[in-house]
Chain A
Amino acid sequence: MSNNNVECLECGADIRVPNNVMQGEILKCGDCGIELEVTELNPLTIDLAPMEMEDWGE
Chain B
Amino acid sequence: MSRLQVGIVAASGYTGGELLRLLSQHPQVEIVQVTAGRNVGKFVHNVHPHLRGQLNLQFIADEGLQPCDILFLALPHGQAQQSIEHYTTLAPRIIDLSADFRLRNPADYATTYAHDHHAPTWLDRFVYGLPEINRQALIGANYASGVGCNATATTLALWALVRAGILNADQPIFADIKVGSSEAGSTPTPASHHPARSGIVRPFQLTGHRHEAEVRQALRDCGDFDVRMAVTSVEMVRGVAVAAHVTLPTGLRERDLWQAYRGAWKGEPFVRIVHEQDGLHRHPEPRLLAGTNYADVGWEYDPATGRTVLLAAIDNLGKGAAGSAVQCMNLMCGFDETTALTFGGIYP
Contact = CB atoms under 8 A, between A and B. Distances in A.
Contacts of A51: 277-278
Interface in A1-58: 8, 10-13, 31-35, 51, 54
A8 B275 CA distance: 14
A10 B255 contact: yes
A33 B254 contact: no
A31 B273 contact: yes
A35 B276 CA distance: 11
B279 A32 contact: no
A13 B258 CA distance: 9
B278 A11 contact: no
A32 B277 contact: yes
A33 B258 contact: no
Contact of B275 (A32, A35, A54): A32
B273 A33 contact: no
A52 to B, nearest CB: 8
Nearest to A9: B255
Contacts of B278: 33-34, 51, 54
Given A10-B254, A11-B254, A32 B259 contact: no
Interface in B263-310: 273, 275-279, 282
B111 to A, nearest CB: 42
Nearest to B280: A54
A33 B276 contact: yes
Nearest to A54: B278
| A interface, over-half SS | loop
Contacts of B259: 12
A54 to B, nearest CB: 7
B255 A11 contact: yes
A10 B275 CA distance: 11
A43 B165 CA distance: 37
B255 A12 contact: yes
A31 B278 CA distance: 12
Contacts of B276: 32-33
B106 to A, nearest CB: 44
A26 to B, nearest CB: 13
A33 B258 CA distance: 13
B258 A12 contact: yes
B279 A11 contact: no
Nearest to A11: B258
Nearest to B257: A11
A33 B282 CA distance: 9
A34 B275 CA distance: 10
Nearest to B275: A32
A33 B283 CA distance: 12
A10 B256 CA distance: 10
9 contacts: A10-B254, A10-B255, A12-B259, A31-B273, A32-B254, A32-B277, A33-B282, A34-B277, A35-B277
